[in-house]
Amino acid sequence: MLNVFKNLFSSAPEVDYAKLVNSGAMIVDVRSPGEFNSGHINGSINIPLEEIKNKSGELKKKNKVIITCCRSGNRSGIAKSILDNQGIECYNGGAWNVLDHKI
């Protein structure tokens, strides 16, 4: 019964973030430098949301899947949309501390 509700209200299929990372995906944390310095996923890079559009060309050249994260998932969702519009395969990993436990 719980799965029925989960499937009804789930907007997207579950993403295997660990598999993406193991296949070479980059984690881009879009919080401010201060937030990033207070704690982040090992190996992630910090590109604040305000800079993501200007850095999208550099990210596209890397030819890697991108997983965005932030504090709550809001800014990373916006970043995902921006990167999607630039033709970059991207996933919204949501809150960095939750994503950290999924990889």
Active site residues: 70
Three-state secondary-structure class, residue 29: strand
Q: CA–CA separation, 51 vs 31, rounded Å?
A: 10
Query: Are the CB atoms for 65 and 20 separated by under 8 Å?
Result: yes
What angle separates helix 49-61 from helix 74-85, to the nearest 10 degrees? 40
Strands 26-29 and 45-46: parallel
**Which residue from 19, 33, 36, 12 is spatially nearest to 84, judged by alpha carbons?**
12
